[in-house]
Amino acid sequence: GAVVSQHPSWVICKSGTSVKIECRSLDFQATTMFWYRQFPKQSLMLMATSNEGSKATYEQGVEKDKFLINHASLTLSTLTVTSAHPEDSSFYICSARDLGGEETQYFGPGTRLLVL
Amino acid sequence: GQNIDQPTEMTATEGAIVQINCTYQTSGFNGLFWYQQHAGEAPTFLSYNVLDGLEEKGRFSSFLSRSKGYSYLLLKELQMKDSASYLCAVRGNSNYQLIWGAGTKLIIKP
């Protein structure tokens, strides 16, 4: 299957700082990427859909000024958690839609964010 | 509304067979996916069904009945490493998003 990378895999930061997470499709082009958040023992929660060259579409209840998404190229989307607070601590996972075949979503390995 | 139901937890024995069911009610249907997620890791793609019937991939098979809004994932010759959560997801109409079930935690016992 297609490969999606995420960087960093772990982040520990102080409250009030901003954290940028990168999501890259390594062997395919992804016009659409998705950002999810997952709390322990809970299901995936879609935060936003990132479209190359246009503004991201945010799910209800997700603050677009808090979670900035940029999809500047066909292989890279970034999520910036601005002014992070302890309640933002979570597992953030991106996925990229492979346009070939079944248009499957392939997931990156995830980024664990801990805000102190 | 849109809804995907799957059992919260199942237990099975190493070497046996287990079937994880998923029922869905969505506005539109453009395919059903099964993913495996080990604790602390991101989901990995297992299977995709868009037409009725059974798709077999090694020890794993997935079945779909669109008229019944029903799918199952069948795992054969269970191994301890199959202990994980199994997520059912449906692609509806809009924006290629997936609608996710809450996942079924599968516990394999020796």
Determine contact: B50 vs chain A, CB below 8 A.
yes
Nearest-Cα distance to chain A for B81, in Å, is 18
A5 part of contact set with chain B, CB < 8 Å: no
- Identify the closest residue of chain A to B47 by CA–CA distance: A104
pLDDT grade, residue A1 (50/70/90)?
low
For residue A108, which residues of chain B lie inside 8 Å, CB to CB?
Answer: 42
Question: Is some CB atom of chain A closer than 8 A to the CB atom of B96?
Answer: yes
**Cβ contact, residue pair B42, A93, below 8 Å:** yes
- E strands, A8-66, are 10-13, 19-25, 32-38, 45-51, 57-58
Q: Is B91 in contact with B101 (CB distance < 8 Å)?
A: no
pLDDT in tens, B8-24: 999 999 999 999 999 99
Neighbours of B8 (CB within 10 A): 9
One digit per residue, the tens of pLDDT, for chain B of length 110 reads: 788 999 999 999 999 999 999 999 998 898 999 999 999 899 999 999 999 999 999 999 999 999 999 999 999 999 999 999 999 999 887 657 788 999 999 999 99
The span from the CA of B37 to the CA of B41, in Å, is 6
Q: How far is CA A18 from the centre of its chain?
A: 14
- pLDDT score, position B45: 92
In the numeric block, the tokens 């190359």 are attached to: A52
On the CB side of B100, CA atoms within 13 Å amount to 21
3-state secondary structure of A98: coil
Mean pLDDT of chain A: 91
Q: Give the pLDDT of residue A102.
A: 67
A chain contacts of residue B41, beta-carbon cutoff 8 Å: 109-110
Pairing label, strands B18-25, B3-5: antiparallel
